[in-house]
Amino acid sequence: MRELNDELRQSHDMLLEAFADALDLKDAEAAAHSKRVTAFTIAIARVMDLPAEDVEVIARGAFLHDVGKMAIPDSVLHKPGPLDPEESEAMQKHCELGYEIVRKIPFLKDAAEIVYAHQERWDGTGYPRGLKGEEIPLGARIVSVANALDSITSDQPYCTAQSYQAARAEIERWSG
């Protein structure tokens, strides 16, 4: 039984690696971003002293949070400047598209909810559903912070990387 469990876990890990490889083919920086967000997410969840099983689910959600971007046109995904309203609408679909991809896989059901809600905001101004406060799954809130941290501290097509101190100030400014 233990051997079967190990094989199943290995199959799960291989499936996640396949997702990463697919994302890497579409956008190598997006794949690296997902790995960094996952590392930040695990660190945050551990500091919060969450159970190991919860950390594992949240880490899977972090790793897959942008998988829906595979369906976003390259012209939008790699645009160096601000997105126009139509492009923003297309980009915002990545949460729902990712959810639709991930939710079909039984062992990723809980992670799919994180993929769906990682762009929601505490004040209800996020997307795609306008969830607010504790309506947003805890894992999605953690991934959102990790995502912001990585986005602020990494070079982007539309801005240069800022310091961790600047990222902390920005995250605190938008918290709660």
Give catalytic residue positions: 69
Distances in whole angstroms, Cα of residue 170 to Cα of each of 79, 141, 157:
23, 15, 19
Report DSSP state, residue 45: H
Rounded distance between C-alpha atoms, residue 172 and residue 167, angstroms: 8
Rounded distance between C-alpha atoms, residue 155 and residue 68, angstroms: 21
- Phi–psi pair at 159, nearest 5 degrees: -165, 160
**H or E, element range at 140:** helix 138-153
Rounded distance between C-alpha atoms, residue 57 and residue 110, angstroms: 7
β-bridge mates for residue 81, sequence order: none
